[in-house]
Structures are given as structure tokens and as C-alpha cells.
Amino acid sequence: MGLEKEYAIETINLCKKYGNLVAVDNLNLQVEKGTVYGLLGPNGAGKTTTILMLLGLTEPTSGQAIIAGYDSSRNPLQVKSLVGYMPDNVGFYEELTGEENLLYTAELNGLPRSLANKRIAQALERVGLKAAGGRKVSEYSRGMRQRLGIADVLVKDPQIIIMDEPTLGIDPKGIHELLALITSLAKEDGRTILISSHLLHQIQKICDQVGIFVQGKLIASGTLKQLESQLLPSDCLEIELKTSPSDENLLALCRAFPGIRELKWENDLLVLTCDRDLRQDFVPALTANGYCPIHLSLRGTSLDSIYLRYFRKEEA
């Protein structure tokens, strides 16, 4: 390997074509060990295809997928024994209990019975399904299934966990618990986690690094801050403003203020495009003129707005 850095997950010019449709286009993805990586993109961007190629379940048209140094299409068994995969909308055998489902996974992994039982008990405890382990999966709620999916991954005790849309269809409280669990898997156990999702605001909190994936291409990758600079011109910040009262004079005041380049109304919010973050300077000016700021926020700090703005840019 020499000086080359070893990533937990790496793809090199990975491509997948279905006829004329290019599902994944020259993907170069790098995920460092022990980090949480969020693969974000709209539906149909090729996220699931990428994940299946990472696991060696789908042959890439060209390029390589490398997991912990092993080629996914050449050593799929090695890769699959290192990686825990939780599919999108994970399914279980309804007529079996939660424990029996996990036991099947353990047997497929060739775990001896005593170790399997120990791991199953630990995994169920960790995801908070200890009491429900003996019940049939058909009685489980959506959130419980999702947690059972995580337990199913934990039974393998993998170094790397790949989750496809883990938060889909769960209520806010459930999502909060799920994300806390995922964070603990990364931070306490030191596992590498790749999460694919289209719900940015939910997973941005727990991701160390984020990649934005659109139409088979990774258009940006890095930490949230890096993404901002990659996707948006740095000298162009947007500030949302709502004041009481809100009238024509406010517009004139804003126009006159140095540093504000443009303004426009978005519903009842006034959006100011400025050179720098001038919130601190602007507030005294507002109050001095008898306007009380009710809402004042800098756009571009949340992934949602980066994402939205990126697409707006695309459309334009």
C-alpha cells in the first residue's frame, strides 16, 4: 500500500450503466475510517445502486469499489463479512420472532451458537428491543423493524455499516433515538458508517462528512463548511429577515445599507444577499429606525439550504 492512504470505503471511477441509462457515473468516493459519511441525493440518484456495488451484490460496468482494501467484486465474501448492510425499508420474516430472524443472520455468518446468542442478546438490548425479541416480527411497528434492522447489523459486529434510508417513515421521536444510536455506533465503537438519505436535515447532525449525489455524480464532498464553499460563491451570503412593522421604508433602509447587494421577498420573509455576515451591524440600524427584528437567520449553514440552493442553481 505504501504511502497511499487506506480508506474504509473507496470507489475508483465506479460506473454502472443499465442500457443507455447511466445510474452511477465515474464515482470517486472516499470515506475515512471511523467517520460517519452521509450520501445525500434525491430519489433515483443512484445511491442504492452504489451501495449494492460496494457490497458486491451488483457488478459495476467499470471501475472499482474497495472496502477496507478488498475489491468488492473480486472478494465479495470478505467484503460482506466486514460490512453490515441495512437495506432501504428493511424486511424480516414475519412469521418468525425478532430473535429467530437475528439467529438466521448469525447462522448465515457462521457464528457458533453460544456467540450468536450472546451477540443477539447484546444487540437487542442496545436497540431497546430486549422485551420484544420473543415476539413475532409481524407485530412490530415500523420503528421497531428499523431498530431490529440495526440489531441485525450488530449481530455481525461489522467494522463498516452501510445504511440505506434509515430514517424513512419513522416518527420524529423515533428518528431522534435512531440517530443517537447511529452516533453511538460510530463514536463509541469506532465503526465507519455510510448513510444514504434524501432527508438532509435529519442526518446532517450526525455526519462528519457529506457527499451530494445527483444523477449518478458526486457533485460535492466534504464537511458541511467545505460544501458551502464548494457549492456556493463565498462572498454571497443570504440573510432571512422579518421585522415588525414591515413596510416600504424597510426596503429603502436595506438598500441604503452598505454590503447588501440584492433583496427580494420570499412570502413574508425578506431575503438579503450580502457580501458578508452583517447581522451584528444590521440589527442596531434596524432598531434605531423603529423596526424590531422577529426573525433573522443566515442561510447556508444548514445542508438543506445548500441542497435547495444547489438545485435552484441547476434549474436556472
- Taking residues 90 to 109 in sequence order and writing x for each that binds another protein by CB under 8 A, - otherwise, the string is xxxxxx--------xx-xxx
Q: Does 21 bind another protein (CB under 8 A)?
A: no
Give the residue carrying C-alpha cell 452583517: 278
Q: Give which of 32, 37, 42, 27 is closest to 304, Cα–Cα.
A: 42
How far is it, in rounded angstroms, from Cα 240 to Cα 300?
Answer: 11
Q: Does 70 bind another protein (CB under 8 A)?
A: yes
DSSP letter for each residue of 231-269? HS-TT-EEEEEEEES--HHHHHHHHHSTTEEEEEEETTE
For another protein, the closer of residues 90 and 250 by Cβ is: 90
Q: Give which of 248, 247, 240, 255 is closest to 285, Cα–Cα.
A: 255
Q: Does 52 bind another protein (CB under 8 A)?
A: yes
Q: Does 26 bind another protein (CB under 8 A)?
A: no
Judge contact between 136 and 86, C-beta under 8 A: no
Angle separating helix axes 142-156 and 98-108, nearest 10 degrees? 30
**Distance in Å, CB of 12 to another protein, minimum:** 6
Cα distance between the two ends of the chain: 45
Total residues at the site for another protein (CB under 8 A)? 44
Angle (CA) 25 34 201, round 5°: 65
Q: Which stretch binds another protein (CB under 8 A): 72-80, 123-131, 176-184, 272-280?
A: 72-80
Q: Which stretch binds another protein (CB under 8 A): 85-93, 200-208, 217-225, 236-244?
A: 85-93
Task: Candidates 15, 22, 26, 57: give the one binding another protein (CB under 8 A).
Answer: 57
Task: Candidates 9, 14, 24, 66: give the one binding another protein (CB under 8 A).
Answer: 66
For residue 245, cis peptide bond before it (omega within 30 degrees of 0): yes
Cell of 183: 452516533
- Taking residues 126 to 165 in sequence order and writing x for each that binds another protein by CB under 8 A, - otherwise, the string is -----------------------x--x---x---------
How far is it, in rounded angstroms, from Cα 241 to Cα 294?
Answer: 8
Distant-in-sequence, close-in-space partners of 44: CB < 8 Å, separation ≥ 6: none
Q: Does 190 bind another protein (CB under 8 A)?
A: no
**Distance in Å, CB of 248 to another protein, minimum:** 56
For another protein, the closer of residues 110 and 233 by Cβ is: 110
Q: Which stretch binds another protein (CB under 8 A): 64-72, 200-208, 243-251, 253-261?
A: 64-72
Residues of this chain that bind another protein (CB under 8 A): 1, 4, 10, 12-13, 48-49, 52, 55, 57-58, 64, 66, 69-71, 74-75, 77-78, 80-81, 83-95, 104-105, 107-110, 149, 152, 156
